[in-house]
Structure 1
Amino acid sequence: MIRAHALTKTYGTRTVVQDLTFTVRPGTVTGFLGPNGAGKSTTLRMLLGLDAPTRGHATVDGRPYASHPAPLTRVGALLEARAVHPGRTARGHLRSLALTHGLPRRRVAEVLEVTGLTGVADRRVKGFSLGMGQRLGIASALLGDPAALVLDEPVNGLDPEGVLWIRTLLRSLAAEGRTVLVSSHLMSEMALTADRLIVIGRGRLLADTTVDDLVRRSGGRTVRVVTPRSADLRRAVLSAHPHAEVTADGPDALEVRGVDAADIGRAAAGEAVPLYELTPRDPSLEQAFMDLTRDTVEYQGAAA
């Protein structure tokens, strides 16, 4: 079990993480989400003892990560997959890590097999693609057969087969009773992988809940409408429902939020606008996340 209690990190006058408290429990995949600059990486580094908190503390199974006599067997971590000497081979890198904890050679062979790197195990890391480097980072995290995993953007650089593989791997590890904390910007992947979510913004906790509950609470159900007179329909809907959100969703298609399908149909009928499609959609995790974090985004691009 991983616990953060009142974690706070300040650099000069800037507070990056503030009073962050949460628990990551065994047997679940917990997604760790937040906009760029939210403090996710700093939080992960504090969990692993790489950054000292200004206030608060973090524990793994009741004690600081660094105080465990064999930390690789408690938490396997992937924070920066490319943090490997480029002149080493994949096997050599894993073997050097194994020696620090007295792990057997067979464990190196096992994680190379699990991550699909056996065929390139004796190639130098400097020749690895982004995806291969990511697999090596995951192999390093798995090396100690840890009770918990902390992974920062583990699908970065992976092809579709690799994304499916890591999703299946994380869920199987959680099913074994392990603690899994994974950070990602891919909301569609988190919707398929995570059981619970911890969402932060500007260093503060915004939500600690299940995926289903976060989506349900967003209240963001939308309706997809297809019509050859989309401009007329937009005007009709906004005239009757000024607080509705109407956005383009493809050629001759609109996405309407804040108005149900029946009201859209009535607005269309009032203006004799033909409808080819009127389909309610349940909210997505991506939309729920954007709604939750809208006021905490530091870096926003201007509309084109």
Structure 2
Amino acid sequence: MIRAERLTKRYGDRTVVRDLSFTVRPGTVTGFLGPNGAGKSTTLRMILGLDAPTHGSATVDGRSYAAHPAPLTRVGALLDARSFHPGRTAFHHLMALAHTHGIPRSRVEHVLGVAGLSDVAGRRVKGFSLGMGQRLGIAAALLGDPAAVVLDEPVNGLDPEGVLWIRTLLTSLAAEGRTVLVSSHLMSEMALTADRLVVIGRGRLLADTTVADLVRDAGAASVLVVSPEADRLRALLPAPARTSPEGPDTLRVTGVDAPGIGRTAAAHGIELHALTPETASLEQAFMDLTRDSVEYQADRRPEPQGAAA
């Protein structure tokens, strides 16, 4: 179990993480989300003992990371996929780590196989692609057969097969009863992989919930309605219906579910050609939740007429 209790980190007069508390439990994949600059990397570094909190604490199974006598067997981590000596082979990189904990060669060979790197184990890592570097970093995280795994953006640089591999790996680690904490900007992957979500913005906790509950609470579900009398239906829908045109004879309706729209149409003899409920996406729910916590926002105003191409 990973627990953050009132974590705060300041650099001079800048507070990066503010009074942050959450728990990551065994047997689940917990997604750690937030916009750029939210404090995710700093929080992960405090969990792994790389940065000291200004206030509060971060523990793994009741101890700080550094207090574990064999930390690689308690927490396996990937924070930087390029943190290896470029002149070493993949095999020797892992063997160097294994020697620090008395981990046998057979375990090194096993994680190379898990990561799909057995055939390139003798190659120097300076020639590895970003995706191969990610696989090597994940192999290192698994080296000590740890009870908890912490991964920061593990799918960066991976091809579709690699993304599927990560997805399957994370769910299998959780199914074995391990604690899995993964940071990612890919909402589509988090929707498919995560059991729970911890969302932060500007260093503060915004949500600690399940994917389904976050999407539901966002209230962004809608119904796509196609009718030759769309304008008339729009005027008849009861509050709190909100409508927006989506094309000829087509409306997007929020605030009223599909059965409610259908009853209104039937009561007034309005012909319907389509009535399609559309569940809100995790991406939209995340954007809504973090709208006020984005560090940098692009100017979405239209370009002035006559501006240079």
Whether TM-score is above 0.5 comes out as yes
- Whole-Å separation in 1 of the counterparts to 2:239 and 2:125: 58
Q: How does 1:209-248 map to 2 (within 5 A)?
A: 209-225=209-225, 244=242, 246=244
Letter matched to residue 288 of structure 2: D
Q: Distance in 2 between matches of 1:28 and 1:150?
A: 12
Residue in 1 that maps onto 2:305? none
- Secondary structure of 2:103's aligned partner: coil
State how far apart, in whole Å, the 2-side matches of 1:182 and 1:150 are.
6
Deviations 1:266-300 (A, max 9, x none): 9999xxx9975431112221122122111111121
The answer as to 2:278 corresponding to 1:301 is: no
Q: Are the structure 2 counterparts of residues 251 and 174 from structure 1 closer, same or farther at C-alpha, using a change threshold of 3 Å? A: farther
Cα distance, 1:227 vs. partner? 7.7
Fraction of identical pairs, as percent: 76
Shift of 1:75: 0.1
How far 1:43 moved relative to its partner?
0.3
Structure 2 residue aligned with 1:158: 158
The one-letter code sitting in structure 1 at the alignment partner of 2:242 is A
Distance 1:165 1:268, change over 3 A: same
2:167 equivalent in structure 1: 167
Question: What does residue 127 of structure 2 align with?
Answer: 127
Write the mapping of 1:73-222 to structure 2, written as runs, cut at 5 A: 73-222=73-222
Q: Distance in 1 between matches of 2:95 and 2:242?
A: 59
Aligned-pair CA distance for 1:38: 0.7
* Greater Cα offset, 160-169 or 15-24: 160-169
Q: Deviations over 1:86-134 (max 9, x none)?
A: 1111111111111111110111100000000001111111111111111
SS of the counterpart of 1:224?
strand
Counterpart CA distance in 1 for 2:140 and 2:244 is 47
**Helix, strand or coil: the match of 2:36?**
coil
4+ long deviations beyond 6 Å: 239-243, 250-254, 262-269
**Residue 197 of structure 1 aligns to a residue in which SS?**
strand
Q: TM-score, normalization: structure 2? A: 0.86
Shift of 1:246: 3.7
Shift of 1:186: 1.0
Instruction: State the Cα distance separating 1:223 from its structure 2 match.
Output: 2.1
Question: How many Å separate the matches in 1 of 2:245 and 2:80?
Answer: 38
Distance of 2:44 and 2:243 partners within structure 1: 36
Q: Deviations 1:52-100 (Å, cap 9, x if unpaired)?
A: 1111111111111011111100000000111111111111111111111
For residue 290 of structure 1, the aligned residue among 287, 299, 302 is 287
Q: Shift in Å at residue 258 of structure 1? A: 3.9
Deviations 1:148-207 (A, max 9, x none): 000001111111111111111111111111100001111111111111111111100111
5+ residue gaps, structure 1, are: none
Instruction: Say if 1:251 and 1:164 are closer, same or farther in 2 by CA, change over 3 A.
Output: farther
Write the mapping of 1:255-294 to structure 2, written as runs, cut at 5 A.
255-258=252-255, 260-261=257-258, 277-294=274-291
Instruction: Flag the 1:257–1:4 CA change in 2: closer, same or farther, 3 A.
Output: same
Task: After superposition, give the CA deviation of every residue in 1:246-272 in whole Å (9 maximum; x if it has no partner).
Answer: 486x99976544455578789999xxx
- Deviations, residues 196-225 of structure 1 (Å, cap 9, x unaligned): 111111100111111222122222111234
Contact (CA 8 Å) 2:240, 2:255: kept in 1 or not? Answer: no
Q: What is the distance in 1 between the residues matched to 2:94 and 2:36? A: 31
Task: Give the total of aligned pairs.
Answer: 301
Tell me the secondary structure at the aligned position of residue 133 of structure 2.
helix
Q: CA deviation at 1:11?
A: 1.1
